[in-house]
């Protein structure tokens, strides 16, 4: 139970630093677009990459678990 509170506290404390960076990224992206650059496109791509990576990892691990479980059931049936 102590671990859950420790993890929750760590997540809460780390969010403060993450939220503080949002205005900086937005300002950089806006100034880049106004200057004719394409840094905002790279920033958006990076955000999508970071967003989908955990889901891909969970899907691959789930697929491997499902495949191994299916294989072990087939071996037991023989």
Residue with the larger pLDDT of the pair 59 and 72: 59
d(CA 75, CA 46): 43
Give tens-digit pLDDT for 4-57. 888 877 777 666 555 555 677 778 777 877 888 777 777 778 888 888 999 999
CA-CA distance, 63 to 65, in Å (whole number)?
Answer: 5
Give the pair of three-digit tokens for residue 4: 């859950």
Give the domain ranges of the chain: 1-37, 40-78
Q: CA angle, corner 26, sides to 22 and 29, nearest 5?
A: 140
């Amino acid at each position: 139970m102590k671990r859950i509170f420790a993890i929750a506290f760590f997540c809460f404390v780390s969010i403060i630093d993450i939220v503080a960076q949002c205005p900086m990224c937005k300002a950089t992206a806006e100034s880049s677009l106004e200057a004719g650059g394409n840094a905002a496109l790279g920033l958006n791509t990076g955000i999508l990459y970071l967003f989908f990576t955990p889901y891909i990892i969970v899907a691959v691990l789930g697929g491997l678990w499902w495949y191994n479980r299916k294989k072990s059931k087939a071996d037991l049936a023989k």
